[in-house]
Amino acid sequence: MNLVLVDSGGANIGSVRYALQRLGVESRLSADPAEIIAADRVILPGVGAAGPGMARLRELGLVETLRGLRQPLLGICLGMQLLFETSEEGEEACLGLLPGRVARLPAAPGIRVPHMGWNQLRSTRPSTLLEGIGDEAQAYFVHSYAAPVTSDCIATTDHGLPFAAVVARGNVSGAQFHPERSAAVGARLLQNFLTGGRA
């Protein structure tokens, strides 16, 4: 399989590559539009803020490349947030592959932001991306901003309010949690993306 990890500058790139190696899959790290377009599957990892994340994609000339992909694309953490139209974080225009606006999680008594640690996934509709992942499944999150629960949301998580934990529309999908740090649940989601990859 020709699998490309977009060189988005995220600190989680190495751990994503290692998680894929544990599944027996080698990936190439690339910022070359031609290599990304030629891939069978593409993963957009990311940690940090929307502004610098989009600035790096613009600097590398990858915004239109990612918008034009027809093969399965998976965004992870910040990479998932960048799939949406806009982010409240810096009032940033994002890739616009999914409708909606990413917003800051509201702090409340007993609710810490950033949301950090294990939390439960709740499926909202069937998807090949969630095959073998039950409603009691736990995944590992680290984030302060989250995407809304829309018709593209296939699993939610609650942290003060429900937010989109996994999204899928056509060839585009995303996980707000870190599959590379989510043990068997994360490994299964990555495997499902590698073998299916569409909503």
Structure tokens at 24: 């027996």
Catalytic residue flag (residue 180) = yes
Ramachandran category for residue 9: left, alpha or beta (phi over 0 → left; psi -120 to 50 → alpha):
left
How far is the C-alpha of 124 from the C-alpha of 166, rounded, in Å? 10
Q: Parallel, antiparallel, or unpaired for β 153-158 and 162-169? A: antiparallel
Terminal-residue alpha carbon distance, the chain: 20
Catalytic pick from 94, 115, 143, 180?
Answer: 180
Residues 141 and 157: beta-carbon distance below 8 Å: yes
Contact 139, 155 (CB under 8 A): no
Maximum C-alpha span of the chain: 49
Which of 26, 35, 77, 136 is flagged as catalytic? 77
Q: One of 115, 143, 159, 178 is an active-site residue; which one?
A: 178
- Kindly give the residue spans of alpha helices, DSSP state H, lying in the chain: 13-22, 33-38, 50-59, 63-67, 78-81, 183-195
The catalytic site residues sit at 77, 178, 180
